[in-house]
Amino acid sequence: MAELERMWAPWRMEMIRAPKPQNYLDEGCFLCDKCKQGGDDEENLVLERGRTCYCLMNLYPYNNCHLMVVPYRHTGNLLELTNEELGEMMVMVQRWTEIIGKSAHPEGFNIGMNVGRVAGAGMSAHLHMHIVPRWNGDTNFMGVVGGSRVINQALKETWLELKKQQAEVDS
């Protein structure tokens, strides 16, 4: 068996030890801000508004067409979601997986939710489900050697393309 390779990142300890605000709502929540009615959906990258949830593009995507489905209600506790919120969230995930499939033709998807900061949630105070399309070879040397990720299309262009595909699916 090969020896486990270790990657040292001691600079991350500063982030791990830094004090974390207890109530993120007091400091603002970008997910609450993005879904305010009357906002510019294109500017906020919002693709769809449902009754209890909405879908938007990730501003810092892992891959092109990386979306998030978010309940309007600000909670970081999965157990607090109602059956209506859970149901609409999953229907919206299913719908946008279909739309991304027809628009970008990925070979697979990562779909999931990080619940809690220790589980990797960047915004642990407001639940959200990620839809990340995947292609064979989309993880390559750029992330390892270059320390960067290549996103092959501008966010606004992707938003317009997804909205066009949404209209075709809806017709």
- Residues annotated as catalytic are 128
Structure tokens at 86: 């859970």
Backbone angles phi, psi at 55, to 5 degrees: -120, 135
Q: How many CB atoms lie within 10 A of CB 108?
A: 11
Residue showing tokens 């229907």: 91
3-state secondary structure of 84: helix
Give, in degrees to the nearest 5, the angle at Cα 135 between 5 and 169.
Answer: 145
DSSP one-letter string for 107-147: SEEEEE---SGGGT-SSTTS--EEEEEE-TT-S-HIIIIIS
Burial class (CB in 10 A: 0-12, 13-18, 19+), 114: middle
